[in-house]
Amino acid sequence: MEKFTKRLVVAVLVFLFAYKIIQFIEYVDPKKISIATWNVQTFFDVDFSGTEYSEFNNPKTDWSKEKYYVRLLRMAEALTKINVDVVALEEIENINVVYDIVDVLPYTSKFHYAVFAKQQGSPFGLALFSRYPISKARTHQIQPMQNISVESVSFRPILEVHLKVPKNDVVIFVNHWKSKASDAELSKIFRQSQQRMLADCIFYTKEETKSENLVIAAIGDFNQKTEEFEIDKTTSEIIFSGTHSVEYMKSSWLEKSNESVGSYYFADNWEQIDHIFLWSKTAHLKKCGTVKKRIFFNSAGTPNSYKIHSGTGLSDHLPLKAEIHFKSEP
């Protein structure tokens, strides 16, 4: 299905910054890096732009500055509980929310760098917080052909982030693929297009970097279960077919160390729609799974969804985390 062309967009939509004048001396393990992805469920601020969901911009809404600030404080606590070196957040409204999260993070937080990207007109963007310096960030965007009318569709970008990790070239692609909430067949076509674009991004990164210590992670909310991906029966790797190559990646859900059943609960079933994928010649995944801290669960043992009327909860997704272990020195 070739209704879409793929175009690399120079990162005019990307905001990149470092923060915290006070830096704390922290131990950094040179043998590994820990990463996580978390869909934080409609994280809007209180400044109306017209793209908010109705429950956040209705004149009779319960949304308020007070509830927003409480939610920010809860977010800061949650990020501390996740306890990783790098975390990607999906469904962040804008760069102002990123700044607000930074403002409430404790000074002892690991995160000293952040990047944000968003498609113009979309209700949400992608954010990434890192303890490591960010050397480069850019977005990749599906663009509709001129004769295709898809005005109501949100073409979510892929955010590419290069991290300055000692002795390793670490590149992270943050994803938020089209959901199944609307037209099922059409949304599947969009996810297939995003899958091809991701494969092409991985291919070009490998071609550009030419490094034996290259580590590529694709993380985020893919809105697609593990079994819906093409899986190599011999290696149990996920197959991403692009325009120029076929890429094979390890999946955190298929690692033996992963004892979690899912990160999203829908229709009385756990689903694996949030993912951490890894490609590397030298690194491998360890300690994969959802974050088990009580703050992320309700009394029923399912995700502690945010409720706008009561101002309680966190998100309808659980954070998914993994460790990437690098090749040991000879």
Helix-strand-coil split of the chain, %, nearest 5? 20, 35, 45
The structural domain count of the chain equals 1
For residues 300, 305, 306, 311, the Cα torsion angle rounded to the nearest 10 degrees is 0
Q: What is the pLDDT of residues 258-283, one digit of tens each?
A: 999 999 999 999 999 999 999 999 99
Q: How confident is the model at residue 299, as a pLDDT?
A: 96
Q: How confident is the model at residue 13, as a pLDDT?
A: 59
Cα gap 277→254, rounded to integer Å:
10
Q: What is the pLDDT of residues 299-318, one digit of tens each?
A: 999 999 999 999 999 999 99
Cα gap 76→58, rounded to integer Å:
27
Helix (H, G, I), strand (E, B) or coil at 110: coil
Return the amino acid letter for 3: K
What is the number of residues in the chain?
A: 330
Q: Name the residue with tokens 């732009």.
A: 49
Q: Which two tokens stand for residue 221?
A: 């909310």
DSSP codes joined into one string, 4-38: EEEEEEPSTTEEEEE--SS-------TTEEEEEEE
Evaluate the CA torsion angle 255, 224, 290, 324 in order and state its sign. positive
Cα gap 259→288, rounded to integer Å:
8
CA 278 to chain centre: 14
Answer whether residue 99 is part of any domain. yes
256: domain CATH number is 3.60.10.10
Q: How confident is the model at residue 12, as a pLDDT?
A: 42
Query: Bridge partners of 36?
Result: 87, 321
Closest-CA residue to 206 (of 216, 193, 218, 220): 216
Q: How confident is the model at residue 144, as a pLDDT?
A: 63
Q: What is the pLDDT of residues 167-205, one digit of tens each?
A: 999 999 999 999 887 777 888 888 999 999 999 999 999
Answer whether residue 258 is part of any domain. yes
Q: How confident is the model at residue 62, as a pLDDT?
A: 84
% of the chain at pLDDT higher than 70: 88
Q: How confident is the model at residue 210, as a pLDDT?
A: 84
Cα gap 319→296, rounded to integer Å:
8
Cα gap 56→46, rounded to integer Å:
8
Supply the pTM of this predicted model: 0.92
Full residue range of the structural domain in which residue 312 is found: 4-325
Q: What is the pLDDT of residues 32-71, one digit of tens each?
A: 999 999 999 999 999 988 788 888 887 677 899 999 999 9
User: Euclidean distance between the first and final Cα of the chain, in Å?
Assistant: 47
Answer whether residue 330 is part of any domain. no
Q: How confident is the model at residue 8, as a pLDDT?
A: 39
Q: Which two tokens stand for residue 106?
A: 């404790």
Q: Kindly calculate the radius of gyration of the chain based on its CA atoms and give it in whole angstroms.
A: 19
**Reported confidence tier of residue 329, pLDDT bands at 50, 70, 90:** low
**Reported confidence tier of residue 6, pLDDT bands at 50, 70, 90:** very low
Cα gap 218→194, rounded to integer Å:
12
Q: Are 116 and 15 in contact (CB under 8 A)?
A: yes
Q: What is the pLDDT of residues 122-154, one digit of tens each?
A: 899 999 999 999 999 999 988 765 555 444 456
Residue 95 vs residues 56, 159, 299: alpha-carbon distances, Å: 18, 14, 33
Answer whether residue 251 is part of any domain. yes
Q: How confident is the model at residue 231, as a pLDDT?
A: 98
Q: How confident is the model at residue 122, as a pLDDT?
A: 87
Q: What is the pLDDT of residues 228-253, one digit of tens each?
A: 999 999 999 999 999 989 999 999 99
Return the amino acid letter for 232: D
Cα gap 133→145, rounded to integer Å:
37
Answer whether residue 281 is part of any domain. yes
